Amino acid sequence: MKALVYTSEKNLEFKDYDDPVQKEGEELVKIDSVGICGSDMHAFLGHDERRPSPLILGHEPSGTIIGGSDSGKRVTINPLVTCGSCRFCKIHKDNLCSTRQIISIPPREGAFAEFLSIPKQNLVFIPKKISLEKACLAEPLACGWHSVRIAKDTINNDIKNLKCLVIGGGAIGIGSALALKAHGVKNIYLAETNSIRHNFISKACEMEVFDPNQSNPIEEGDADLVIDGVGIRATREMASRFVAPGGIIMHIGLGEAKDGLDIKRMTLQEITFIGTYTYTSQDFKDTANAIFDGRLGSLDWTEIRPLKEGQNCFDEIFNGKSSSPKIILKP
């Protein structure tokens, strides 16, 4: 098969690669659409020791089943493969599975390829009215859905009444903001430093977008809920400043591991910090259903490109020249 292979730091090659080995209990899926994620970019830059080269990246796919009783059915794919029997899986926190695997991290190759083998339970069937391009957004949007659900379960207030700040205008941040809207929140602010994206996001998502380096429509210490979809020192510093006393910081982004939190202020103001990783299988299904019934909006804020142009796409993202929050590659 043809695949986009991460070969060395900042280098990808569109080349012939071994076909996936279909294991027992798995389906072979012909990939139609797969999004570029921030973690793919971390690997591309050589910043992710979990993803050594050579490796097929990509974990936001949709496609069509080949062979078997469900041959021809269109699916979106949960890339998180779990055991189903550990203590976390048994309490429906399978994203914390002690032996979890995710496609694009060895031993599983990713979805920047023509084909992928994946367990049957990781597939969600797509209704005819939904395009495969929109369906592949279930993965990044599920990260925000999971974070909002946990915040809703944690905060001692009706989430609809909260003033919310989302940091980051990529797919994770947008997904978090759209999940907040789907849960009835009206007062949402989205911070994005790349001004090229502002009009795109505002039009597509119908929410206020601002550059925190230029102006701030929200006062420091005034956000009941802050969701950090970037996860670097600067965004954690912003989250620490803008979260209200007694508020919550939900931390999704994995940009940098250290620094940024104002621990003294968080302690004195009883601020809750919660790290959230991916999503449970139920969160993924709930997100897919929210896409299918339109609760997450039109989802027309993506750009479609051929998989063979992957190197150019990664270069554009790295250099800040991509205007859309999400590039979807087509094998």
Question: Domain spans of the chain?
Answer: 2-137+299-330, 141-275
Q: What is the DSSP string of 245-260?
A: EEEEEEE---S-SS--
| Residues facing residue 6 across a β-bridge | 12, 55
Q: Which long-range contacts (CB under 8 A, 24 or more apart) does 263-271 make?
A: 265/240, 266/240, 269/243, 269/244, 269/245, 270/245, 270/246, 271/240, 271/243, 271/245, 271/246, 271/247
State residue 322's pLDDT score: 82
Burial class (CB in 10 A: 0-12, 13-18, 19+), 197: buried
**20 by DSSP, 3-state: which?**
coil
**Residue 192 has which token pair?**
């994005």
Are 254 and 143 within 8 A, CB to CB? no
d(CA 75, CA 33): 11
Per CATH, the number for 2-137+299-330 is 3.90.180.10
* Residue 3 near residue 17 (C-beta atoms within 8 A): yes
d(CA 253, CA 101): 19
Report whether the peptide linkage leading into residue 331 is cis, meaning its omega lies within 30 degrees of zero. Answer: no
CATH C-level class of 141-275 = alpha beta
Helix axes 281-292, 138-154, angle to 10 degrees: 110
pLDDT at residue 291 in the model: 98
Query: Tens of pLDDT along the chain (331 residues)?
Result: 999 999 999 999 999 999 998 999 999 999 999 999 999 999 999 999 999 999 999 999 999 999 999 999 999 999 999 999 999 999 999 999 999 999 999 999 999 999 999 999 999 999 999 999 999 999 999 999 999 999 999 998 899 999 999 999 989 999 999 999 999 999 999 999 988 888 778 877 778 899 999 988 999 999 999 999 999 999 999 999 999 999 999 999 988 889 999 999 999 999 999 999 999 999 999 999 999 999 999 998 899 999 999 999 999 999 988 878 899 999 9
The answer to whether 275 and 251 are in contact (CB under 8 A) is: yes
For helices 171-182 and 281-292, what crossing angle results, to 10°? 80
